[in-house]
Amino acid sequence: MPKFQIAVLISGNGSNLQAIIDAANDPSYPAEVAIVISNRPDAYGVKRAEKAGIKTVVIDHKNYETRADFEVELQSQLTKQAIDLVCLAGFMRVLNAEFVELWRDKMINIHPSLLPAYKGLNTFQRAIDDGVRFAGCTVHYVVPEMDAGPIIMQAVVPIQQNDTKDTLATKIQQQEHKMYPAALSMIAKEKIKLINQKVKFDEVIEQSEILISPKI
């Protein structure tokens, strides 16, 4: 049976891309990375993809007069590969609603907060500044509104008194690298259904433990 074909869109280091590549190296993993696309020529993630022997395309957004022109080329590259799912992994470009609708229910993103809290940028420092006790990350479907699509998976990370934005980022990224490949696997195995814009699962172990921070 052919493996689920994914495209990964990046703009930078590509650590989540590497986590997906590593997972896909297991012959039992149900998906494979068909193409990696970067909007920045200097993104280190491009080197990660090339090292893994994955087709890599750079579409430098600076070479296009409008966002729509950039997205025409992006769509062209994706359709050439018969992609089943688009994965945004540190892709730092806001996509027009028209493009998002082309990939409705077939594009996901990972965001470094417990959505719907802390949409946008600088999530780690904002959580620390607000004095909240938990942060985390979210895998979600992409919709035209930024960081607002149906939630697939979340990881919760306690914020310690001595945490900085850098230490918190490190802890959260460790969870991202576990969670993103796991979410992809569930989608590829058709264990996820979207019903009324909420994600429903088949054959999953649901979390029942109540988390309190600090412990009591």
Asked if residue 1 has pLDDT above 80, the reply is no
> Max Cα separation, the chain?
57
Mean local confidence (pLDDT), 154-183 = 97
Residue type at 117?
A: A
The residues annotated with a catalytic role in the active site are 111
pLDDT tens figures, 50-93: 999 999 999 999 999 999 999 999 999 999 999 999 999 999 99
What's the pLDDT at 91?
97
- Helix locations, the chain, DSSP H: 15-24, 44-51, 67-79, 97-102, 123-130, 165-188
Across the range 96-125, mean pLDDT stands at 97
Alpha-helix residue ranges (DSSP H) falling in 63-164: 67-79, 97-102, 123-130
In this structure, how many other beta carbons lie within 10 angstroms of the beta carbon of residue 158? Answer: 16
pTM, entire model: 0.95
